[in-house]
Copies of this chain bind each other. A is one copy, B any other.
Amino acid sequence: MAFIPHTADDVREMLDTIGVASIEQLFDEIPAALRAGPLTGIPAALSEMQIGRLMSERAARDGRPLNFIGAGAYEHHIPAAVWAITTRGEIYTAYTPYQAEASQGTLQTIYEYQTMIANLTAMEVSNASLYDGASGLAEACLMAVRANRRSKAARILMPRAVNPTYRKCVEAIASNQGLIFEEVPFDPATGQTALDALARFEGEDITAIVIQQPNFFGVLEDVDSLTEWGHAHGALVIAAVNPTSLALLKPPGEWGAKGVDIAVGEGQPLGVPLCSGGPYFGFMATRMEHVRQMPGRIVGRTLDLDGRPGFTLTLQAREQHIRRGKATSNICTNQGLLMTAATIYLAIVGPEGLERVASASMVRTTELASAVSTIPGVHAAFSAPHFHEVLLRLDRPVGPVLDELAAQGIAGGYDASRDYPELGPVLLVCATETKTCDDIETYAKALAAALGAPRAT
């Protein structure tokens, strides 16, 4: 019996001890009318060998395209040590550290993670992870409503330049509690959130404003001005940031005069494989004053009976298992394993490594943009500075172009016209440190071919 150790002798002895004649009898409290028939729709068992072969065949079907898609998930090199350690049984098969004394490994790792996230974002405290960046932003919005006691409106300004899936996810999660999201347009020339569009909210009750840096187009926002505007109008400021970019970019804790109130983001770029979208993790950091409004687990350092330091879950009164209906969130299981991977990733790359990843990614994307700019019919959509993504405007629908690239083994970018029909055919592309100059050349050639356009060189 796969994964069941019982021998026939074991079963007999156990049934005797219980005092029943059969395993079936153990289910005698279930009303007969409720009993199910056999699960005919489930295929017969495969051995590990067979499933291994099947999965290898399926993996081969997916192939390994040369990837230039970003749009919220980024291909970075992951040091081999990261997952070699993360998949160690003691990490992989432990659970939430409810028994602190038997979970010091997990707890100390979280404490180190919290420190890294706080330092990266220049905030005061971090939690132990949320599900992902998108749902993390939803949690941040809900948290802002709790934390901004002066605001009654539960009304949040949401730039249109924020990742469209994030916006959908925030809507799906937070609208149930009656939150209202007001869209802030972007400047069609620069791609930045339009500061002047904020004028229409002047004097109104705004609970919070969301700022994504870089925004969905890869464009760098004027985060200082946006933050200042928010604070000047009694709003809390929520930053949604790419963690890699923080090696180079001003961290949310330093935006404007006093920094943002809540910083969240998708943790995937920090050592987590793309893997069709998950598992990733969301990070969240805030100021100490708001810590009791923060969702998710938090670890603190304390002392043991002998006065020696140790780590434990703390501020649990915020959480569902204590506070139930009044908890800051319903989150229970989080993304511990991914957070662990990120902690190890950051320890290995260090500040120097992260800076190099960020700058190489930026430079490669600039090179990519300039390589494709020589193709007739391809133009950069926006003028403001970019991080490691750039929106290209094409002279024809994006879908067929991507199909063409796919046929050549290239994952050629994200068709952003689905989300921004007003921009016409636009393609969001990304090159990270994983791309070489040859790769960029390959891409440019393939794109030119797909557009049927000879490249001007």
The yes or no answer to A36 lying at the interface (CB within 8 A) is no
Q: Is A434 an interface residue (CB 8 A)?
A: yes
CB distance from A178 to the nearest CB of B (A): 47
Interface string of A73-96 (1 = CB under 8 A from B): 000010110001101110000000
Asked whether, in the complex, the Cβ of B79 is within 8 Å of the Cβ of A434, the reply is no
Q: In the bound complex, how far is the Cα of B271 from the Cα of A48, in angstroms?
A: 14
Residues of A320-363 at the interface with B, using a CB-CB cut-off of 8 Å, are none
A52 close to B (CB within 8 Å) = yes
Bound Cα distance A88, B85 (Å): 8
1/0 per residue A199-216: CB within 8 Å of B? 000000000000000000
Contact B434 A49 (CB under 8 A): yes
Assign chain A's interface to a size class. 10 to 19
Complex CA distance for A88 and B77, rounded to whole angstroms: 22
A81 to chain B, nearest CB (A): 9
Residues of B within 8 A of A433 (CB): 49
Q: Mark A32-63, 1 if CB is under 8 A from B, else 0.
A: 00000000000000011100110000000000
Given A48-B80, A49-B433, A84-B89, 11 more A-B residue pairs with CB atoms under 8 Å apart are A47-B77, A48-B77, A48-B79, A49-B77, A49-B434, A52-B77, A52-B80, A53-B434, A84-B87, A85-B89, A88-B88
Residues of A within 8 A of B (CB): 47-49, 52-53, 77, 79-80, 84-85, 87-89, 433-434
Task: Name 14 interchain pairs, CB-CB below 8 A, sorted by A.
Answer: A47-B77, A48-B77, A48-B79, A48-B80, A49-B77, A49-B433, A49-B434, A52-B77, A52-B80, A53-B434, A84-B87, A84-B89, A85-B89, A88-B88
